[in-house]
Amino acid sequence: MKILASITEELLDILLTTKALKFGSFTLKDGSNSEYYLDLRVIPSYPSAFKKTIAMLTNALYDLKIGAIAGIMSAGIPYATGIALELELPLLQIRKKSKDYGLSKLIEGEWEKGWRIVVIDDVITTGSSKEPAIEALRELGLIPFRIQVLIDRTEKKSAPLVRGVPVHALARIQDLFSYGLEHDKFNQSIIPLVKQALERMES
For 48-96, the pLDDT digits (tens) are 999 999 999 999 999 999 999 999 999 999 999 999 999 999 999 999 7
Q: Please, are residues 41 and 75 in contact by the beta-carbon 8 Å criterion?
A: yes
CA angle 178, 20, 53 (to 5 degrees): 85
Between CA 201 and CA 178 the distance in angstroms is: 11
Mean of per-residue pLDDT scores for the chain: 90
Domains of the chain and CATH, by start? 7-202 (3.40.50.2020)
pTM: 0.91
One digit per residue, the tens of pLDDT, for the chain of length 203 reads: 333 448 999 999 999 999 999 999 898 777 778 899 999 999 999 999 999 999 999 999 999 999 999 999 999 999 999 999 999 999 999 997 655 444 467 899 999 999 999 999 999 988 888 999 999 999 999 999 999 999 999 877 666 889 999 999 999 999 999 999 999 999 999 999 999 999 988 87
Q: Please, are residues 58 and 87 in contact by the beta-carbon 8 Å criterion?
A: yes
